[in-house]
Amino acid sequence: MSRPPALLSQFVLKIHSRCDLSCDHCYVYESADQSWHGRPLTMSDRVIERTAQRIAEHAAEHRLESVQVVLHGGEPLLVGRAGLRRIITELQSALYGTCQLDLRIHTNGVTLDEELCELFAEHDVRVGISIDGDRAANDRHRRYADGRSSYDRVIRALGLLGTDRFRHLYSRLLCTIDVANDPVVVYESLLQLKPPRIDFLLPHATWDNPPPGRTLATDERYADWLIAIFERWLGAGRPVQIRTFDSIISTLTGGESLTEALGLGPAVLAVIETDGSYEQVDSLKAAYDGAPATGLNVFDHSLDVVGQHPGIAARQQGLAGLCHTCQECPVVTSCGGGLYTHRYRAETGFRNPSVYCADLLKLITHISSRLPQATAGRTGTATHVVSEDTFRALASGFGDAAAVSQLIEAQRSLRRSLLGAVYQGASTALGASDAAGAALRAAWAVLTTIDGESPEALDTVLAHPYFRVWAVRCLEQVKSARRPGLVCDLGRLGAIAAAAAMRATVKADVTISVVDAAVHLPTLGRMAIGPGGAERDGASEPETASVVVADGTLAIRVKDSHWNLAVSDLLANRPHHAAVAAGSRPAEWQPMRVLRAPGIDIAVEDTDPYRDCHQWRAAPRLTDSEFAQWQRRFEEAWDEISYFHPLYASALAAGLSVLMPLSAGPDGRDVSATARHAFGAVAVALPVDPVTLALLLIHEFQHVKLGAVLDLYDLYDPTDGRLFRAPWRDDLRPLEGLLQGTYAHLAVTDFWRVRQEVTTGAAAEAAGKRFAYWRDHTRDAIETLASSGSLTPLGALFVDEMRHSACP
Amino acid sequence: MRTDGTSRVSSAVVDVRDLSLTEMLTLKMETIDQVVARVLPDSPVAPVAVAAFNSAL
């Protein structure tokens, strides 16, 4: 099953098919593909116009926010200033009002002059320049046809780009590696040119046409060359962006790849030649004559048709598109099989490791080993680790309290990072002089004080499962610039500060949004207040409460009403009828209540405004009698779990912090849920019997555990958008959904296996049937996962442990 | 399996537990961005794979 095509968003326009240099390592002219011979010298106006239209219609149809166009060649500056202006304005006109245009030019730089720089400044065209290092290194290949050096002219061009007038256009240097050059000399000479970024490019090669200087496939001289630079770069504190290294560090720490030459991201690039032909990525010229051709052109074919071309689709398959060797490689997430072209072998096509496999493995392994140092320069910290035994225990469907505690510690890092990101993002979005911005800064000041004086108090409040739901919502509001929503959500920051201040006995004076006629304090409860004025219309900013924590008292003021509450009562979760100091609005403090059983306490979250994030609808706040019913049922369920399912009990006691009551399911069905961002919470509608509640708690906590594992590890290729059959559902599921369901049903299977053994008669018979049903479905699903082709090596290990558990 | 040589599986989440909130904001946000990007892949601060194409002329 192949993936649906990813949308194209990068376009390389070959605006001139010849070059004024004659570099002997050029992939355009010196490679297997010789199609340049038959191309027009330049793009005609007709081709340019149609190309711009094609890109614009593609962007409009798919509502792309931006596209990137790279003017390329040959040598694009040979088009001349007038020609370049025509091309640039044609593109900008076509895309105006449709999407942003990120326009770049890659050039050898030898004819770049002040007038061209002014043209690029006028139209915001970023310039990348090719240079291979110092004079000796550059002159090894980058010469004119008569043998003259190009070095001085390139240096002159870089001098122009280094001036204050044009520095903002200076995009990067592109350096093709020649291992005969001294790597450190090359790096230092490029660094002196003060580039914002350097790309070190492996010379294009295939298994049929191996890299220059290479005699054995196990030769690692390219890795050694790059590692020498990496160490110099790292030792100097990473003074410049180097895309290869940055990309590897990014993927090793969970981020995206930054280059087509590494990682599992889909190819989203198409090339348009001077005659209007669409081609695949042009490095394919190094594979064989005609390799980049698609047989499509701008006059007859849309970019959607290009995106469906088998050659492009083949580079959008992520892990599943790689050969078996790559799929099982420990560094595949960072490497991604290397550049597609470099995998080619005439006998087997592109389904091979890269011809640079040994180099990439060594380089990535080396950078991985230096990761703490690589990140220490920025943070002073390393990444979270989990013991292998713990990983395997979690993968098998179990994992004890110690295992869950390791997941909890990683969640602390995630929550603190999210808090910082929300503050940073919101500060930028709101502006310095804004009242909401002032409230934000006041709340942040309280939080930093608490963090310094009593960090455990802050951690307690941040550990509330719906903190992350809130943070993600804020970041989404920042992204979409929804100011009223953002201002309302940011009121929660004051509430977090106030709740933590009460725990830390720190003074606080903050502003909190009034939501659903209540002032909410996470981990404590809410002050429900009577109606007080006009309803919000959604566009206006919310009613706010002024909240002061000082001298053991929580003082809340909403307009002319004012209430005082004793902090000690609130921390003890005691119900409290607030003393009305002024005004006329009635109010009631509704504390967060706690379900208790031997060895476990779980907060019942039935007031938080961010709790309704599950698949099923949240129940309104429980009445006292409803809560009493929950308490009885929970105690009975916990007896079941701790006696018959002890392997799950300790993990639940360690990691389950909140139970969120759901409204009854349709037709009285038992319903339960978890939310990916709400670590530690399960949502359940009260079932009629304790055994069902025990099952639902165990089932849902599997999702909680796996969600935390997925926060830490890439178990599958995230770019795989395919849907898969889950035996227990009518609809198809994405890979993560299938993994989640299978992991949960692993525990369900185990549950019914145990019930079959501990019951008798009809109950045992019914349990046996359920055990067989879930065992078979779970095994089927495990095999679907294992054969998906999209599991990372760690994911394959995880699924293998699941298989051992399901098929003992 | 990606381990650090002591039977521990290295994760993709940077450990910022010991960083104060103030320190976090005085740092370059790169690491925080990466952590956030794991939680929210399309976050406004997620690293963006820009200019993936790179071929020298």
Handedness of CA A232, A238, A242, A243 (dihedral sign): positive
Pairwise CB contact (< 8 Å): B24 & A417: yes
In whole angstroms, give the CA distance from residue A13 to residue A10. 10
Q: How many CB atoms lie within 10 A of CB B4?
A: 15
- A751 Cβ partners below 8 Å, 6+ apart? A645, A694, A695, A698, A699
Task: Give domain status of residue B27, yes or no.
Answer: yes
Residues in A closer than 8 angstroms to B30, CB to CB, are 378
A374 and chain B in contact, CB less than 8 A: no
Pairwise CB contact (< 8 Å): A371 & B8: no
Kindly tell me the burial class for residue A139, based on how many C-beta atoms sit within 10 Å of its own C-beta (0-12, 13-18, 19 or more).
Answer: middle
Pairwise CB contact (< 8 Å): B54 & A10: no
Of A281, A452, A712, the CB nearest to B11: A712
Q: Please compute the mean of the pLDDT values over residues A33-56 and round it to a whole number.
A: 89
Q: Please provide the distance, in angstroms rounded to a whole number, between the alpha carbons at the two ends of chain B.
A: 39
- Structure confidence by residue, pLDDT tens digits, A679-710: 999 999 999 999 999 999 999 999 999 999 99
Pairwise CB contact (< 8 Å): B32 & A420: yes
Q: What is the CATH number of domain A10-372?
A: 3.20.20.70
Is the predicted pLDDT of residue A533 greater than 50, yes or no? no
A796 and chain B in contact, CB less than 8 A: no
Q: Please compute the mean of the pLDDT values over residues A651-659 and round it to a whole number.
A: 96
pTM of the model: 0.69
Residue A415 · residue A458 · CB < 8 Å: no
Pairwise CB contact (< 8 Å): B2 & A368: yes
DSSP annotation of A143 reads: B
Q: How would you write A358-385 as a 3-class SS string?
A: HHHHHHHHHHHHCHHHHHHHHHCCCEEE
Provide the mean pLDDT of chain A.
90
A445 and chain B in contact, CB less than 8 A: no
> How far does A516 lie from chain B, in Å, by closest CA?
27
Nearest to A508 by CA among A462, A545, A465: A545
> How far does B54 lie from chain A, in Å, by closest CA?
7
In whole angstroms, give the CA distance from residue A442 to residue A420. 15
In whole angstroms, give the CA distance from residue A224 to residue A226. 5
Strand, helix or coil at A355? coil
Better-predicted residue by pLDDT, A432 or A530? A530
Residues of A numbered 100-139 whose beta carbons fall under 8 angstroms of chain B's beta carbons: which are they?
Answer: 102, 104, 106-108, 130
Task: Give domain status of residue B50, yes or no.
Answer: no
Better-predicted residue by pLDDT, A234 or A656? A656
Cβ contacts below 8 Å, chain A against chain B, sum to 236
Pairwise CB contact (< 8 Å): B34 & A10: no
For strand A593-597 and strand A600-604, is the pairing parallel, antiparallel, or unpaired? antiparallel
Instruction: Give the domain range for residue B35.
Output: 1-44
Q: Give the H or E element holding residue A60.
A: helix A45-61
C-alpha distances in Å from residue A562, one per residue of A443, A496, A507, A516: 20, 20, 18, 18
**Which pLDDT score, from 0 to 100, does residue B54 have?**
43
Q: Please compute the mean of the pLDDT values over residues A418-423 and round it to a whole number.
A: 91
DSSP codes joined into one string, A227-259: HHHHHHHHHTT--SEEHHHHHHHHHHTT----S
Lowest mean pLDDT across A33-47, A87-101, A517-531: A33-47
Residue A406 · residue A386 · CB < 8 Å: yes
> How far does A119 lie from chain B, in Å, by closest CA?
21
Task: Give domain status of residue B52, yes or no.
Answer: no
Is the predicted pLDDT of residue A431 greater than 60, yes or no? yes
DSSP annotation of A99 reads: S
- Structure confidence by residue, pLDDT tens digits, A66-114: 899 999 988 999 999 999 999 999 999 999 988 889 999 999 999 999 9
Task: Give domain status of residue B36, yes or no.
Answer: yes
**Which pLDDT score, from 0 to 100, does residue B57 have?**
45
Is the predicted pLDDT of residue A530 greater than 50, yes or no? yes
Pairwise CB contact (< 8 Å): B51 & A104: yes
Pairwise CB contact (< 8 Å): A256 & B47: yes
**Which pLDDT score, from 0 to 100, does residue A541 have?**
59
**Which pLDDT score, from 0 to 100, does residue A577 have?**
59
Residue A380 · residue A386 · CB < 8 Å: no
Task: Give domain status of residue B5, yes or no.
Answer: yes
Task: Give domain status of residue B51, yes or no.
Answer: no
> How far does A666 lie from chain B, in Å, by closest CA?
32
Pairwise CB contact (< 8 Å): B29 & A424: yes
Of B10, B16, B34, the CB nearest to A255: B34
Quote the tokens at residue A541. 């900013």
Of A175, A389, A421, the CB nearest to B32: A421
Task: Give domain status of residue B28, yes or no.
Answer: yes
In whole angstroms, give the CA distance from residue A161 to residue A28. 26
Is the predicted pLDDT of residue B6 greater than 60, yes or no? no
- Structure confidence by residue, pLDDT tens digits, A272-331: 999 999 998 878 888 888 888 999 999 999 999 998 888 888 888 888 889 999 988 888
Q: How many CB atoms lie within 10 A of CB A656?
A: 21
Residues in A closer than 8 angstroms to B14, CB to CB, are 253, 375, 379, 381-384, 413, 417
The residue of A417, A476, A792 whose CB has the most chain B CBs within 10 angstroms, and thus the best one to mutate to test that interface, is: A417
Pairwise CB contact (< 8 Å): B17 & A330: no
Residues in A closer than 8 angstroms to B34, CB to CB, are 250, 253-255
Read off the amino acid at residue A356: Y
When divided into structural domains, chain B yields a total of: 1
**Which pLDDT score, from 0 to 100, does residue A268 have?**
87
Task: Give domain status of residue B53, yes or no.
Answer: no
Pairwise CB contact (< 8 Å): A421 & B13: no
Residue A220 · residue A191 · CB < 8 Å: no
Nearest to A142 by CA among A302, A22, A284, A283: A22
ipTM: 0.76
Domain with CATH 3.20.20.70 in chain A: 10-372
Q: Please compute the mean of the pLDDT values over residues A426-432 and round it to a whole number.
A: 78
